[in-house]
């Protein structure tokens, strides 16, 4: 079931990052580093199951989320990208029940066309009529069983290449429609720091927590304190898996070209081994062996 910590953190006005995870070990690493909330993005989920985001289904989404949560014994709240809800109102409700049963604490649902189109990743967006979007949020809210399970209403109407949108005014209208349907938080995609969007959306979308992805202002990423000043509470980091893939790519490249792993200092190698042992709880396993098989 959903964990209460996320709702409590939001009610207290806390501001925090939620990094992408995709399996047991990455979830444990996030916990080890002190993150209080973890995130399963659609793009990352697609990558780890070997597909693009528009091609994955509810079963795959629940499988990845559940495996990551098992890795931390369901001790952390998880936010999941539910994309378009996988269909009409009854499919949205099934998706909510499935992920709530899997131990997820919050989902964000968007207003893109379903089935999703792959050219979304080229920046070309198709969004559904506002009535259909509002209905998705309404029935998602009706389907949840716990007050601790939160519905984040995402909209892409501010994206410049949105075929049926493309304006921040439309994004605000959709945010209010989602609020009327009972959304717990609002998540607008396409915020541009250089045109004053941070202040604009906080001014126009009142009395509800706001979610965003990392934003760069004056060439620098915003700090948690700056997000606090602008009135945004949750910062989702979906691109972690892409960074991990690049690191693995460089490792493979070194092996192919030299026959060896990339050079690292012995101290760093020892640190990596120690961390891996900690994440896999070897100390606990050794303690059991000490009084059983090794005795």
Alpha-helix runs per DSSP H in 148-265: 168-180, 197-204, 224-230, 240-258
Q: Are residues 139 and 284 in the same domain?
A: no
Tokens coding 76: 């952390």
Q: How many structural domains compose the chain?
A: 2
Q: Are residues 113 and 230 in the same domain?
A: yes
Residue at 269 is within a domain: yes
How far is the CA of 29 from the CAs of 5, 19, 68, in angstroms?
Answer: 19, 10, 11
pLDDT per residue as tens digits for the range 131-178: 999 999 999 999 999 999 999 999 999 987 666 667 999 999 999 999
Q: Are residues 114 and 219 in the same domain?
A: yes
Domain CATH for 35 = 3.20.20.60
Q: Are residues 170 and 271 in the same domain?
A: no
Residue at 256 is within a domain: no
pTM above 0.75, yes or no: yes
pLDDT per residue as tens digits for the range 169-197: 999 999 999 999 999 999 999 999 888 99
Residue at 127 is within a domain: yes
Question: Domain residues for 48?
Answer: 5-245
pLDDT per residue as tens digits for the range 38-84: 999 999 999 999 998 889 999 999 999 999 999 999 999 999 999 99
Q: Are residues 112 and 13 in the same domain?
A: yes
């Amino acid at each position: 079931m959903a964990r209460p910590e996320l709702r409590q953190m939001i009610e207290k006005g806390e501001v925090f990052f939620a990094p992408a995870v995709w399996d047991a070990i990455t979830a444990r690493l996030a916990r080890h580093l002190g993150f209080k909330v973890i995130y399963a993005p659609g793009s990352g989920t697609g990558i780890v199951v070997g597909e693009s985001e528009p091609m994955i289904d509810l079963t795959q989404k629940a499988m990845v989320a559940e495996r990551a949560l098992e890795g931390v014994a369901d001790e952390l709240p998880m936010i999941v990208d539910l994309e378009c809800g996988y269909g009409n109102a009854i499919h949205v409700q099934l998706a909510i029940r499935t992920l709530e049963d899997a131990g997820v604490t919050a989902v964000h649902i968007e207003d893109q066309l379903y089935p999703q189109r792959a050219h979304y990743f080229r920046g070309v967006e198709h969004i559904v009529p506002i009535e259909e979007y509002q209905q998705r949020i309404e029935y998602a809210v009706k389907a949840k069983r716990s007050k601790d399970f939160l519905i984040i209403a995402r909209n892409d109407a501010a994206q410049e290449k949105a075929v049926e949108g493309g304006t921040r005014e439309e994004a605000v209208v959709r945010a209010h429609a989602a609020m009327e349907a009972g959304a717990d938080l609002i998540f607008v995609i396409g915020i541009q720091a250089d045109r004053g969007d941070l202040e604009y959306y906080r001014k126009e979308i009142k009395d509800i927590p706001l979610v965003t992805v990392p934003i760069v202002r004056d060439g620098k990423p915003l700090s948690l304190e700056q997000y606090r000043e602008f009135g945004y509470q949750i910062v989702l980091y979906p691109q972690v898996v892409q960074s991990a893939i690049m690191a693995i790519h460089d490792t493979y490249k070194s092996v192919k070209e030299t026959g060896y792993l990339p050079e690292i200092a012995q101290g760093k190698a020892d640190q990596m081994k120690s961390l891996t042992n900690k994440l896999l709880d070897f100390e606990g396993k050794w303690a059991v062996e000490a009084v059983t098989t090794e005795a």
